[in-house]
Structure 1
Amino acid sequence: MEDEQSFSDISGGRLSLQRRYYTQSCREFCLNCPRLSLRSLTAVTCTVWLVAYGLFALCENSMILSSAIFITLIGLLGYLHFVKIDQETLLIIDSLGIQMTSSYASGKESTTFIEMGKVKDIVINEAIYMQKVIYYLCILLKDPLEPQEISQVVPVFQTCFIDLQCWRFGLIMNNFTIL
């Protein structure tokens, strides 16, 4: 069974949350983040090039223009490969564990696996960010020495700040929770 719904993040960007149920013990939550904004990309590029052109007019050195183009291209490639995440996926297999995958705009993927025996609970946490209350999903890991204590908090879906309505849609359906 597959279910999809669109939401907006706290900045107004469009998000798409897909839920896929393969079996009763295996389900996947996929969050598609907003694509790279052409407006912001153009603004940054124009700003860098206008500053470079102003420096060129003062110094009359063509190396300034060449370095501005080079810096812009290297910065864009670095941003696409290391920062801009297009899709985050949470795959939960009850008897095995939780796999978190982040797909970057350049095509690179980063995967983290957490064994189910290490998971104490999954909670929706709230924080204050830039004068707003944001909600984020966290996996609480058991302390190996003290099983009743929490050793680590692992945030899930780290790139998009989602409103509470999206979390409720994604995690609870007909009294069916994530764990």
Structure 2
Amino acid sequence: MVLSAAIFITLIGLIMYLHFVKIDQESLLVIGSLGIQMTSSYASGKENTTFIEMSQVKDVVINEAIYMQKVIYYLCILLQDPQEPNGVSEVVPLFQSSKPRLDCLVEVYRSCQEILEQRKTKTSPEL
């Protein structure tokens, strides 16, 4: 009886977790003149949106980490330090829940770099 109740409570907890906490979709919108918007959509319908102004963005990089005897790759935004122009104040990881493969990250990285490069060429003075 106690075992059946424990299994039932565990199943109910798992169903609630999958319905209310699990992230269903993550997206990234990069607009060179405005900034970067990151959106996470939960299975329950709730959305979490974060916006970073382009003036704060120093670069977008693919970082690697060792986790449980394997190498994982993730995309990060490097935020520019206001006091130190060449420094980085914060590293913001992207796609934390979906964990896309490296080839997918490379495609997103290349697109972001194209937009950042266009922005740099527009803002740099011509000689």
The normalised TM-score by structure 1 is 0.56
Residue 48 (structure 2) pairs with residue 80 (structure 1): no
Residue 97 (structure 2) pairs with residue 159 (structure 1): yes
> Which one of 61, 64, 80 corresponds to residue 126 of structure 1?
64
More helix by share: 2
CA deviation map 1:129-165 (0-9, x unaligned): 1211111100000112222211100001111333322
Q: Is the 8 A contact 2:20 2:44 kept in 1?
A: yes
Unaligned runs of 5+ in 2: 117-127
Give the Cα separation in 2 of the matches to 1:149 and 1:137: 19
Question: Once the two structures are aligned, what percentage of the paired residues are identical?
Answer: 57
Q: 1:122 to 1:51 in 2, by over 3 A?
A: farther
Aligned length: 115
- Residue 81 of structure 2: aligned partner: 143
- Residue 58 of structure 1: aligned partner: none
Question: Looking at CA atoms only, which structure, 1 or 2, has the larger radius of gyration?
Answer: 1
RMSD (CA atoms): 2.3
Q: After the TM superposition, which residues 1-179 of structure 1 pair with which residues of structure 2 at under 5 Å, given as runs?
A: 52-53=3-4, 65=5, 69-70=8-9, 72-82=11-21, 84-172=22-110, 177-179=114-116
Q: Secondary structure at the match of 1:161?
A: coil
Q: Secondary structure at the match of 1:172?
A: helix
Unaligned runs of 5+ in 1: 1-49, 54-64
Give the Cα separation in 1 of the matches to 2:54 and 2:7: 49
